[in-house]
Amino acid sequence: MTAYTAYARKVFLGRSAYRFDHLMSILSTILQFFIFYEIYRALYGGEEQVDGITMSMVTTNFVLSLGLGTIFSPDDYFLPNKIWDGSISTELLRPVSFKGRMIAENVGNSAFNLIFKFIPVITVALLTTGMSAPADIPCFLLFLLSALLGAGVMFTISFAVQMTAFWLVNIWSLTTIKNVLVNVLSGSMIPLWFMPEWMQGVLNFTPFASIYFTPVQIYLGQLSYGEIAVKCAIQLVWIILIYLIGDLLWKKGQRKLVVQGG
């Protein structure tokens, strides 16, 4: 465990060293927040709600989605970069799990983003917009649990996509498709409340809605405890299922790598 803690700490301190880049990243995140806010204000045209969906709900959705997106942003090129430069061969010889190292470094990165990105964005949102407070304390605690599960879904999707680097020369296009699907189908850019009912029903059983929209619904108190249990179970099932797919690709990819080097 000490080795993985050291990896997480290294990433956190490494991010802290580039202060100008860190400042620009904060400004970029806040700018994205204001762009989304002004777009939806214009769409609402001064109205407080549209079809029962209030501006406060929409604001809370994109603030939390944007904030969680900044925290849980896995490095999609962690494995591909090591395959491209050949360092994967030495990485596999280290006395630590490569997958464990991936998780540890993502935890370090997430901790940095939580402190230096998420908190500033939430602070600005609370001071300048009508972002809703949590429905109650239990909903807030369950929101944190669901957000962690959402992060797990995000990581396993990135993990599975990265494993294709053993076969593809460049996974940039696949990663781009993955990011577009996450941004559109997770409710991050367009809240799923605005989707047709049949589409909402389909998306609720995909991994994408589990990333951001489920935690937001819990935060706003829109789900009963029974529904929360079902939603969290769906998140957990997706984590396990996608991880198993990625792990299968990982094992097959290692054998392919040995053949190529032989």
Q: Give mean pLDDT, residues 108-113.
A: 89
Q: Inform me whether the pLDDT recorded for 93 exceeds 80.
A: yes
- Residue listed under structure tokens 């984590």: 239
Answer yes or no: is pLDDT of 260 > 50: no
Enumerate the H helices of 45-189 as residue ranges.
Answer: 55-71, 78-84, 88-91, 98-113, 119-128, 137-163, 172-185
Query: How sure is the predictor about 145, in pLDDT bands with cuts at 50, 70 and 90?
Result: very high
pLDDT at 1: 58
Give the domain range for residue 165. 2-261
Mean pLDDT is lowest, of 25-29, 96-100, 230-234, 254-258, for 254-258
Helix, strand or coil, per DSSP, at residue 205: coil
Report the distance separating Cα 208 and Cα 214, nearest Å. 10
Q: How many domains does the chain have?
A: 1
Q: For residues 228 and 220, is the Cβ–Cβ distance under 8 A?
A: no
